[in-house]
Amino acid sequence: MDKLKIRFNFVYIDFDKAITWFICLYFSNGLVRLAARRVLAVARLQSSYILFANLIIYMPLILVLVLMISKRKIDKSLWSFLLVLCATVFFFALTLFFHPDYDRFFFRETYGAWEDVFRPDSGAVFGFLVVTASRNSRRLIENLKYASMLLLLYSIYQFLKAVSDGYWTVLNAAGESIEQSYNLGFGYTVIFCATVFLGLFIRERKKTYLLLGCISTVLALVGGSRGCVLCLLIFGILYLFKEFSVVPVYKKILITAGAVLAGILFNAFYYDILSWLSGIDARTIQMFLSGDITSDNGRDAIYALAAGAVKTMPFLGYGAFGDRQFITPYYYWGYCHNIILELIIDFGWLFGIIIFLIICVRSIQVLIRAREEQAFVICILLAANAKLFLSDTFWGYPQFWMLIGYLFFVFKVEKKETFTGRIRFVRKKK
C-alpha cells in the first residue's frame, strides 16, 4: 500500500500524497473555504463558491477511498473505518428509533449529528480515518505536521481578525451570536498545534518548530483561555517520561514538580504576565485577559443537570446525544462537558464505565510499550483528549476518534509487523 499508485490518463496519483492532502484539508478546510471565497469574489464568481470549495476539499477523500478499494482486497485500514462508521450510524439510528424526539438534536444546523459527527470534511468520526489511513506512526507525524502548519495559518488569520474587530463572534447559552472577548474553542485548537510543533522540536531540535510552537502557545493563551494550557502541560509531562527514558527517576520527578509549580504560578500571575508581555493598547489587553480557567462557564450547573439525568437513567442509558434533552433547554450546545458523564448518560452505568475503562487501560498499555514515533503520537493524542474532562463532546471531537483509531488499530498493526519482521530476521540468521 505504501507505494500504491493509480494511473489516470498518464497522471500518477500517490497514495501517501493523497492521504496527506486529505488530512491537511480535513483540519484546515476553513482556510480553503476562506481562500476560495476571496479568489472567486475577485473573479466575480461568488455563486460558484460552494461547488468550488467542496470540490477541493472532498477530492482528496475520494482519491483516498479509490486508492484503498483499487486493490483486489479492500485495505484493512478502510475496513476498520467502515466498521466504526457503520457502528456509529447504527447506534444513532437505533437511538432515533427508540427516541424519535431526538430528531431536534440530530438534525439541527449547529451541534447536530451531521455537522459534528458524520460530515466528511469536518465530522469527528473521520478522525479515525486520518489515523488508520496514515498506516504508521512516522507517516502520521508527517501528516500532522503539515496539517498543523495550515491550521496555524488559518488560526493566525482568525486571531488577527478578532484583534481588528475587538471581539470574537460566538454562540451564547441561548444559541445567539454574541460578541465576546475570547474564544474557548480557538484556544484548544491552537494548543493542539503547539503540542505537535513543540514535540517536533524535542525530537528534531529544529528552531523553526520551537518558533511555531511558541507562536501557537501565545495565540492559545491570549485568544482562548488558560484551560487549554492543561493539554500542553500533560503532553510535556507524558513526553518527558517517554522521550528521556535514560534520565534518572528523581530528576524526572523534580522536572515534573517544577513544571507543575510553574503552571500554578502562571495561573496565579496570568494577568500580570500578559500585561507585561503586551506592549499594546489597553483595549486589546483587556480582550486578552478575559479568558479565565477559574471561570467554570456554567459547568457546575451543567454537571448538576447531568447528575439529575443519571439518577433517573434507564439501564442502557439514553442513547446517542442522550444528555442533550436535559442540558439544551438551558445551554444551547447541549453536551455535559465531561467524557465520563457523557459515556454514562449515553450508554448507561455499566457499559459507559466499561467503555471508559477499556480506553484507559488500553491507553496505559500503549503508553508503556510505545517507543520513539509511537510515544510521540500517543502523548499528543492523550494530551489533546484531556480537553474532554473539561469541555466539548467526544462525539464531535476528532482527536478522540484519532485516539481510538491509534489505540485499537495502528499501534496493534505496527507491533504485529515488528514482531513478524523479527521472526523473519531470526529465521534468516539461522
Residues 168 and 186 sit within 8 Å (Cβ to Cβ): yes
At 318 the pLDDT is 95
Task: Mention every residue, 6+ apart, whose C-beta is less than 8 A from residue 97.
Answer: none
Per-residue confidence band for 59, with pLDDT thresholds at 50, 70 and 90? confident
- Of 357, 345, 361, whose CA–CA distance to 303 is shortest? 345
Give mean pLDDT, residues 338-344.
95
Residues 155 and 167 sit within 8 Å (Cβ to Cβ): no
Give mean pLDDT, residues 325-348.
94
pLDDT digits (tens, 9 = 90+) for 258-300: 656 655 555 555 555 555 444 433 333 444 444 444 345 577 8
Q: Of 69-83, 157-171, 293-307, 345-359, where does the model show the most confidence? A: 345-359
pLDDT digits (tens, 9 = 90+) for 9-52: 444 567 778 888 889 889 988 888 888 777 777 777 766 767 77
Residues 312 and 323 sit within 8 Å (Cβ to Cβ): no
Angle at 271 between CA 230 and CA 159, to 5 degrees: 70
At 384 the pLDDT is 95
Residues 184 and 291: their CA atoms lie apart, in Å, by 8
Q: Indicate if the pLDDT at residue 225 is higher than 80.
A: no
Give mean pLDDT, residues 99-122.
92
- DSSP-derived secondary structure for 278-335: --S-HHHHHHHHT--TT--TTHHHHHHHHHHHHHT--TT-S-TTTTHHHHTTTSTT--
Residues 387 and 398: their CA atoms lie apart, in Å, by 12
Interaxial angle between packed helices 229-243 and 373-384, expressed in degrees from 0 to 180 and rounded to the nearest 10: 160
Q: Indicate if the pLDDT at residue 340 is higher than 80.
A: yes
At 222 the pLDDT is 87
Residues 378 and 51: their CA atoms lie apart, in Å, by 37
